[in-house]
Amino acid sequence: MLFRIVTAVFAALYLSTPAVVVAQSAPSSSTISSNVSMERAVDQLFAQWAEPNSPGAVIAVLQDGKIIYSHGYGAANLEYGVPNTPSTVFHLASVSKQFTAFAIHLLAHDGKLSLDDDVRKYVPKLHDFGKPITIRQLLHHTSGVRDQWNLLALAGWRLDDEITDDDIAHLLFQQTELNFAPGDQFLYSNSGYTLLAMVVKQVSGKALPEFAKERIFEPLGMSHTHFQDKYGTIVKDRAYSYARQPDGKYQYVALTYSTVGPSSLFSTVGDLARWDENFYTGDVGGEMLLGDMQQKGKLNNGRDINYASGLSIGKYRGLRTVEHAGGDAAYRTNILRFPDQHFSVVVLANAGDLNPTALSFGIADIYLKQLLKPAPDKPALDDKPEVTVDPKILDAYAGDYELRPGFIISISKDNDHLVARATGQPSFPMYAVSDTAFHLRVVVAEIVFDKVAQGGAAQSAVLHQNGANLALKRITISKPTADRLKAYEGHYYSAELGVIYNVFVREDVLMVHTPRGDLGLQPDGVDAFSARFPIGNLKFVCADDNRCNAMLIDDGRVKQLRFDKTSLEPIGSKSSQ
């Protein structure tokens, strides 16, 4: 997605217990399973991936504890032409979190821990941040702990390096600051679930893979499910992940995690059907535990959030939902449950261009059509033919537009078309469909500029994306002088990452050399810049005498990461200038 600030918003609804009385009668499983037209409609949703030379997905539609439709699309392995089938094993990515959370709740109901315990009781190597971080806050992403994947990227790791529990632990234990005070905000953090896996091991004496096997997978008969804590382990019937490239072809994307907790669970749609049904029966854990697991988190100010122990609690077209999606490498997964209808959808995919959340709800639209409220109207962004626009009009649109403080969309002209660049993201071309409307080529989004008087410049625009209409206002960004750019130059060290960045000027452009190469910095305000991932937003800390001695990085899931200017130089740093 081009503009990452447009994210899914979960509706607020409290889910009190896992076993609920059906408020609206859903079609019986016998009626649904015999309706071939519904199955064909589902197949149509996945038609573009239902080819032997394409990766794809496996889906399962569940009603009243039974799989009423399951089907595989595309290939599990393109090299050998192995098809995806209902028995194919997938890496589940962040869908794994609900299993880690379940393990914690089992230990809590065993009386082995309290959800309000300070995590340092079990992980004493974690820095003392001055305020306790509770297990409950880790479960709900309200801990303030910085995200491990962003930290690794900032430290110079590639996510296809082999990453172990020890690698992540070492990085987390180096952190001396939080994104915010524990309990003040909700911000998704994979690190919290790595810490929870450490808690499971400390309390139970068993690593998470062993504990989950004994207490969850074996009791539920999930014989094709396991947490994988060692990259390279052979997994029978595994799907490999593939990402679509700019030329339209797919490329294999390696996943080399040797770490568990926030990710690394492998399973099938059949095993996940057993897991889903346990939320109704409580056969493992009991109804009280399942109810506790679905209680939404609460912030320090008393406000509820819509996240609960690895589950998102929401509402869709009038019906309550419980879901969670995941994405690692090119795996894309989602489990969507409508508890009052005893209806669920599982989508497991190995195609990086497949949106499992949208497709899960698309399947629900088909099967629950008679129960769903009308869908809200959304502006149509259908493909339209490209038109030619007077270059003088394009000039009038070029400039910087603020969506919110700190998030700028910069519009520039490149020959006969416009280019859009959002804060911390790459540049993407746009094509004109009218004198005022321009479509993005890489995402379903449109920017519509206001009418411009001859010789004038557009002062505002509207971004249409994901059904939202977001106002953009032209701003003037002060460009730093050559002397100011020179003041930024130097080497900056982060003790929390153990790395040095080199800031330098190349051809009047401020650059930063990271362990993985050079990135250009684009001015966003006074001493403020942005760059593509993993930098995001960068702000220099400067004195009145034009001396700059530190910089702070905020890339979304890592905030206010400090780098101090140092006389140290990494070997080979001068070669980047």
The pLDDT value given to residue 1: 39
- Give residue-wise pLDDT tens across range 302-360: 999 999 999 999 999 999 999 999 999 999 999 999 999 999 999 999 999 999 999 99
Q: Look up tokens 């071939």; give the residue.
A: 36
Going edge to edge, which strands form the sheet with 509-514? 517-520, 509-514, 499-506, 490-494, 561-566, 548-554, 536-542, 528-531, 522-525
Q: What average pLDDT does this structure show over 224-250?
A: 95
| SS3 per residue for 335-362 | EEEEHHHCEEEEEEECECCCCHHHHHHH
- Give residue-wise pLDDT tens across range 164-199: 999 999 999 999 999 999 999 999 999 999 999 999
- Look at residue 419 and tell me whether its pLDDT is greater than 60: yes
Percent residues over pLDDT 70 in the chain: 91
The pLDDT value given to residue 124: 98
The kind and range of the H/E element at 32 are helix 29-33
- Give residue-wise pLDDT tens across range 224-234: 999 999 999 99
Between 236 and 7, name the one with better pLDDT: 236
Longest dimension (CA), the chain: 78
Mean pLDDT of the chain: 90
Q: In this structure, are residues 478 and 524 in contact, taking their beta carbons and an 8 Å threshold?
A: no
pTM of the model: 0.86
The pLDDT value given to residue 155: 96
| SS3 per residue for 259-317 | CCCCCCEEECHHHHHHHHHHHHHCCCCCHHHHHHHCCCCECCCCCECCEECCEEEEEEC
Most confident residue range from 357-371, 383-397, 511-525: 357-371
Instruction: Name the least confident of 377-386, 397-406, 454-463.
Output: 377-386
Token pair recorded at residue 361? 């709800």
Percent residues over pLDDT 90 in the chain: 78
Rg (the chain; Cα; Å): 25
Token pair recorded at residue 97? 């979190």
Angle at 133 between CA 559 and CA 140, to 5 degrees: 75
Q: Which of 491, 487, 481 is nearest to 515 (CA)?
A: 491
Sign of the CA dihedral 231, 232, 234, 240?
A: positive
Rounded CA-CA distance 548/563 in Å is 11
How many residues are present in the chain? 577
Rounded CA-CA distance 176/129 in Å is 7
Q: What average pLDDT does this structure show over 532-557?
A: 93
| SS3 per residue for 159-201 | CCCCEEHHHHHHHHHHCCCCCCCCCCCCCCCHHHHHHHHHHHH
Rounded CA-CA distance 280/481 in Å is 64
**Bridge partners, residue 430, by sequence:** 440
Q: Distance from first CA to last CA of the chain, Å, rounded?
A: 32
Residues contacting 526, CB < 8 A, separation 6+:
478
Rounded CA-CA distance 22/320 in Å is 11
